[in-house]
Amino acid sequence: MSECDTCNNLVYDEDYDDYVCAADIDEDDYARMMQYEGQHAAARCPFWVNGDEYAVVRHQAF
């Protein structure tokens, strides 16, 4: 599972029958993403948004 799988910018595309990124990424953004390849998605992709709606309250569970 890649970090892109947890991003809120993924939308289902019926033509591709798969999820695709809906963010408007240009060549500069893509080059920056490849430059920081070993880092977390938030550092690589300026459009990455955490799709885990429970991340904020998870620490309160215990």
Closest to 11 in 3D by CA, of 39, 43, 51? 51
Give residue-wise pLDDT tens across range 19-47: 998 988 889 888 888 887 777 766 778 78
Q: What pLDDT does 17 receive?
A: 95
Closest to 32 in 3D by CA, of 40, 17, 44, 21? 44
Q: What pLDDT does 62 receive?
A: 59
**Cβ-contact 5, 43 below 8 angstroms:** no
pLDDT higher at 50 or 28: 28
The pTM of this model reads 0.58
